[in-house]
Amino acid sequence: MTLTPSTMMPLGSTAPDFELPDVVSGKNVSLATFKSKKALLILFICRHCPYVRHLQGDLAQIGLDYRFKDIGIIAISSNDAQSHPEDSPESLKEMAAALGFTFPFCYDETQQVAKNYHAACTPDFFLFDKKRTLVYRGQFDDSRPDSGRPVTGRDLRQAIDAALADEPVSRIQKPSMGCNIKWKPGNEPDYFKS
């Protein structure tokens, strides 16, 4: 595991299109799936990462708390399932069921969606407004494994609530931190190479 921060895609960026299979339903999910929603939250997560495990129950709770709000939520795993079998679609399906995810959980086998979003770590969060303009990217909250700080989701929740209320989202945003995305051999994106 390499502790990796978000790349902090520039605010104002337009959400790149995607079409990915949901590991639970088998149906394809795309940007257009959420076209009627005022906001869209994209979570890059996986199953094996201790940083995701640290807040996975609270990720599920976000889905429950905003289930009837005007926001679309989708989780995406882009990790190489060959090197990390725990992040295979079958395993992700088990994770979604165990945690009671109320949102699609998709597998990005080619890793192209992660590249298009400049995702770097798990977890990595991207919140877009009605025009699918990026208004938040960064951490869930200040809690990390072994930090002793409670998981609250404060940073992300404040951003979501502002977007849903048509209020400006604070531009003071801290990078998320977590395990690096497990790129397939030779597939590491340019923005991620040191």
pTM listed for this prediction: 0.96
- Please state the separation of Cα 194 from the chain's center in Å: 23
8 Å CB contact between 159 and 169: yes
Tokens at 31, concatenated: 């940007």
8 Å CB contact between 164 and 129: no
Per-position pLDDT tens, the chain of length 194: 578 999 999 999 999 999 999 999 999 999 999 999 999 999 999 999 999 999 999 999 999 999 999 999 999 999 999 999 999 999 999 999 999 999 999 999 999 999 999 999 999 999 999 999 999 999 999 999 989 999 999 999 999 999 999 999 999 999 999 999 999 999 999 886 54
8 Å CB contact between 60 and 100: yes
Q: Cα separation of 62 and 83, whole Å? A: 29
> What is the number of helices (H) and of strands (E) in the chain?
4, 10
Q: Which domains are seen in the chain, by residue range?
A: 3-192 (3.40.30.10)
